[in-house]
Structure 1
Amino acid sequence: MNWDDLKYFLAVCRMGSIRAAAAELNVNHATVSRRINNFEASLGQRLFERSAKGYTRTKIADEIYQESSHLEERLSTVARQIAGKDNSLSGDIRITLPDLFARGLLMPAIAEFCKQYPLIHIEIIDSARLFNLANREADVAFRVCEQPPEYLIAKQLAVMHRSCYMARKLLPELEQESWLEQQNWIGWNDKMRRPVGKIAREYPRFDSKHKITSAVLQAEACKNGMGIAVLPCFYGDLEPELVRVPPYSSEAKYNFWLVYHPDLRKNAKIQTFVSFMIEQMQVQKPLIEGEKPMPVNLPLL
C-alpha cells in the first residue's frame, strides 16, 4: 500500500469532497480523483459513495481510515523528532494564521524576521481552521481561543480587544442630534446579527442590518457607510478610513496565542522565529488590547 495513496484517501475522508481535498493538498482536483480511483482499483473495493453532497466513506473505508490515521500519526511523530534536532537557521517554516491578523499586525513582523534571517523561508496558510500541529500541518500557529490544547506549547501574546467602528467620512454626521442612535449593526449571520456583552449594552438601540461573515469585508462595508462594525482594535485602529464610535471604549473578547508542538522546542529556526514574534507582539500588545486614547476632536454623545 502506497503512503501517497493514503494521503489522498485521508484528505477526502476529512474534507468530504474531491475539490475540498484538492485545495487542502494544494493539487488539482483531477489528481485527487485519479488517485482515489486508482486506490479503489488496487484494493478491489469501493471506498466512497459519491453523491451531490460529497463523498461518504463505506464500511471498509472506515476501517482503513482508522488504521491509516494511526500510521499518519506515527510517521508524523518521526518527522517531528527529526525536525526537532535541526540546528540550522535555514529551510522552511510553515505558519498558520487568520488572514485578518496579517495586515498591520503579523506581516510587518514576519517581513522583518525574513530580512534578518534570509535563509529561512516562510510558508503562510491564511486560515482560521485549527490545523493539526501533531501531524505537522503547520509548525507554528497563531490562534484566537480561550485555551489551546494542553499537548501544545502555548504563549499568550495578548488579550484581544474589539470596539465599534464607523466610516471616518461620516464624522460630521455625529454633530446631528440622535444621528448615531439611528445607525445599524453589520451582523455576521442569522445567529449573530447583534453583538453581545459590554458593546451591546453601550449601543442597545442600534438596529441590525446586513450579514457579512468576513471581518475584512465587514470593515470594507463599514468604510462605505453600510453600518457600524465590531472589529478587533488592532485592525480598526490602524485603518485610516475607520474611526471608533463614541464612547470609544473597547471590550476584551479573545485570547491571542502563539502555539507549536513540544517536539520542536529544540529546533533552532522554530525557536528563533517564536522568540522573535513574541518580542514583536509585546511591542504591539497595547494596540491589540485596545489601549487607544479617546480622540479629542470627536464629539461626545
Structure 2
Amino acid sequence: MADWDDVRYFLAVARDGSVRAAAEGLGVNHATVLRRIAQLEQRLSVQVFEKRPSGYRLTAAGEEILEFAEQMEVSSHQLETRVFGRDQSARGLLRVTLPPFLATQLLMPDLADFARLHPDIEMEIHSTGEVANLTNREADVAIRFVVDRERLPANLHGLVGTELSGGVYLSRGLLAAWRAGASNVIRPIVINDRGVPDWAHEGEVRPTGIPFRVPDAEAQVAAVREGIGMTRLPCFVGDADPQLVRAPGIKPRVNGAIWILTHGETRKTKRVRLFVDFVSRRLAAYAPLVGGLSASAD
C-alpha cells in the first residue's frame, strides 16, 4: 500500500512537471523528492515518470495512479479539517488571507486589535491577490472582493461584509492646476492594463496622456499622489487619503462586496468563529467608507 507522504511528492511532480519546482513548493531539497519518488516506485513495482528534456512526464502507470493519488489527497484534507473543526480552544494558529489593499489600507489596525484581544492565537496574515485554496487548508479564513456571488465555490461558507465602491481619483494639486488652466499632462494610471480605461472618457477632467502602467496597488497609490495622473481606487483608499480627491463628474460605482469565507469544519473552531465575528462587526462599521458614502468630489 502506498504511503501518503510519498504520494504527495508524486502529486507535486505530476502537477509541476519538474522535480525542482516540486521541491521548492514542498520546501525540501531536490534529492528528497527523488528519494520519495523512488520509494513509491519500489513499493508499487512500477515506473511512474519518464524523464524527458521538457521535464517529467507520467507513464501509463503513473496516469492510473494519479486518479487514486488525488482521491487520497482529498481524504487527507477532509480528515485534517474534521480534526481541526473539533478544536475549540481560543489558541493556536489562525491563517488569514486578504488582498494587499485591505490589509494595508483598511483592516491592519483591526487585525492588530484582534491579536491584542487574543494573545494565545498565532496570527499568520497572507496579504496577496491570489485566491487561497481553503479546501486544501492553505488558509483558515479568506477576506475577498467578490463581484459575482454565483461564482463562489459551493463548498465555502460565505458571510457578506459590505458593498464595495470604487471611484476615480487624482491629487489635489493636479486638480487645482487643471482648474487654473495649467497644461500639465494628465495620464491614466493603470495596473498592467494595455488599453485606456473606460473611465478616461467620463467626467470633467479627461486624461490626455498615454497610460502610466504600474505593477501593483501600492505603486498605483504612490503614482497618483505624485500627480502623474488619475486612477480608479476603492473608495476606502481614495476617500481616506488627504492628498487625493475624487475626479469631478464621475460618481463612485459599486464593484461588488467584501466577503469573509471559511470552509467546512474549519469555521466551527473557536478561533475562526471569534475572528469572523470580530471582522464582520468592523466591516459593518466601515460600510459608509467602503461604500463610497463618506466623501464627495471637491
Q: TM-score, normalised by structure 2?
A: 0.83
Moved more, 277-286 or 129-138: 129-138
* Structure 1 alignment gaps of length 5 or more: none
Amino acid at match of 1:80: T
Equivalents in 2 of 1:69, 1:58: separation in Å?
A: 14
1:126 equivalent in alignment to 2:130: no
Structure 2 CA distance for partners of 1:100 and 1:285, relative to 1, 3 Å: same
On the 8 A contact 1:21/1:32 being kept in 2, the answer is no
From 238, 241, 262, the counterpart of 2:240: 238
1:41 equivalent in alignment to 2:38: yes
* Matched residue, 1:112: 113
Q: Secondary structure at the match of 2:286?
A: helix
Structure 2 CA distance for partners of 1:153 and 1:199, relative to 1, 3 Å: farther
Tell me the CA shift for residue 110 of structure 1.
Answer: 1.1
1:142 equivalent in alignment to 2:151: no
Identical columns (%): 31
1:96 equivalent in alignment to 2:97: yes
Greater C-alpha Rg? 2
Tell me the CA shift for residue 6 of structure 1.
Answer: 3.4
* Matched residue, 1:168: 172
Trace 1:22-61 onto structure 2 (pairs within 5 A).
Answer: 24-25=25-26, 27=27, 31-42=28-39, 43=41, 45=47, 47=49, 49=51, 55=55, 57-59=57-59, 60-61=61-62
On the 8 A contact 1:144/1:256 being kept in 2, the answer is yes
Moved more, 169-178 or 70-79: 169-178
On the 8 A contact 2:14/2:58 being kept in 1, the answer is no
Amino acid at match of 1:121: E
Structure 2 CA distance for partners of 1:282 and 1:33, relative to 1, 3 Å: same
Superposition CA RMSD, Å: 2.8
List, as ranges, runs of 4+ consecutive aligned residues in structure 1 with deviation greater than 4 Å.
12-25, 48-52
* Matched residue, 2:157: 153
On the 8 A contact 2:19/2:33 being kept in 1, the answer is no
Equivalents in 1 of 2:283, 2:102: separation in Å?
A: 12
From 289, 293, 296, the counterpart of 1:294: 296
Amino acid at match of 2:263: H
On the 8 A contact 1:248/1:294 being kept in 2, the answer is no
Equivalents in 2 of 1:12, 1:130: separation in Å?
A: 22
On the 8 A contact 1:164/1:229 being kept in 2, the answer is yes
Q: Secondary structure at the match of 1:78?
A: helix
* Structure 2 alignment gaps of length 5 or more: none
Tell me the CA shift for residue 65 of structure 1.
Answer: 3.3
Q: Secondary structure at the match of 1:163?
A: strand
Equivalents in 2 of 1:61, 1:13: separation in Å?
A: 9
On the 8 A contact 1:90/1:269 being kept in 2, the answer is yes
On the 8 A contact 1:184/1:228 being kept in 2, the answer is yes
